[in-house]
Amino acid sequence: MTRPRIMRNLKKAVPAVCRLSAAASVTCLYSLWAIEQAYARRGYRAYGGEYLSIPLVAWAIYNILTVLAKIIHAVGAWRKERKTFEDQLF
């Protein structure tokens, strides 16, 4: 592979890896909290609905971060376009 191709692939991979690691971190914290809450409510350790919600939380956090990244990218592109337009006016 050529160097520009590697750099292009890295530019796509780094944000995805950051989103995945952030989603995994939040999901880990959520799972610890949910399992502890279930234990406090039941009074004994068991496998229940809290384990079903863990993948859903991971999926939701990853998608929220993806949407936020797209919004930030769109706002940046809009500001750049607006600045270029203003420069043409004056």
List pLDDT tens digits, range 8-62.
888 888 888 999 999 999 999 999 999 999 999 999 988 888 899 999 999 999 9
- Helix (H) / strand (E) containing 77: helix 49-89
Using CA atoms, how far residue 87 sits from 62, 73, 75, 83, in Å, is 38, 21, 18, 6
pLDDT above 70 (res 74): yes
pLDDT above 80 (res 68): yes
- Domain ranges, residue 71: 3-89
The total of other beta-carbon atoms located within 10 Å of residue 68's CB is: 11
3-state helix, strand, coil in the chain (%, to 5): 90, 0, 10
Q: What is the pLDDT of residue 9?
A: 81
Q: What is the pLDDT of residue 11?
A: 82
Mean pLDDT of 50-79: 91
Structurally, the chain folds into a number of domains equal to: 1
Q: What is the pLDDT of residue 78?
A: 85
